């Protein structure tokens, strides 16, 4: 007989890129509870004991704070994200649209312009 086990997303969050992609995809849903759960998944992947030590918050408190049924304080969220080495940026939607129209300046392009100017 085949045994079915629960899927644990934190088992698969083993690189910075996977973590960034996971959180980015979750935030697109604009669901605060789901985002809190996702931050908890990342904290579990990194080791809740380590996050607890870095933030000064109890392990049990962290598990309770980062499930989809709670609304942790903003300070708690920021402390955990800081311990996870994750930055959050805010920007205007209008600014994003303008930035997408501008060409991306790469280091090669900048170097080529400097070489041509010399």
Going by pLDDT thresholds of 50, 70 and 90, the confidence category of residue 1 is confident
Q: What is the pLDDT of residues 68-118, one digit of tens each?
A: 688 999 999 999 999 999 988 887 878 766 666 655 555 555 555 555 555
Report the 10 Å Cβ neighbour count for 79.
18
Q: What is the pLDDT of residues 41-76, one digit of tens each?
A: 999 999 999 999 999 999 999 999 998 688 999 999
Domains, the chain, with CATH or none: 9-91 (1.10.260)
Tokens of residue 65, six digits = 């704070």
Residue 75: how many CB atoms within 10 A of its CB? Answer: 10
Q: Which residue has the tokens 């030590």?
A: 53
What whole-number distance in Å separates Cα of residue 13 and Cα of residue 32? 20
Neighbours of 10 (CB within 10 A): 17
Q: Is 2 helix (H, G, I), strand (E, B) or coil?
A: coil
Q: Are 55 and 80 in contact (CB under 8 A)?
A: yes
């Amino acid at each position: 007989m085949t045994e079915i086990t629960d899927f644990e997303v934190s088992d698969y969050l083993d690189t910075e890129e996977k973590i960034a992609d996971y959180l980015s995809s979750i935030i697109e849903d604009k669901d605060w509870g789901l985002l809190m759960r996702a931050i908890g998944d990342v904290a579990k992947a990194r080791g809740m004991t380590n996050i607890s030590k870095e933030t000064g918050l109890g392990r049990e408190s962290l598990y309770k704070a980062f499930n989809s049924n709670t609304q942790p304080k903003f300070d708690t969220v920021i402390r955990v994200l800081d311990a996870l080495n994750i930055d959050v940026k805010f920007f205007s939607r209008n600014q994003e649209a303008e930035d997408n129209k501008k060409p991306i300046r790469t280091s090669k392009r900048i170097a080529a312009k400097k070489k041509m100017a010399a």
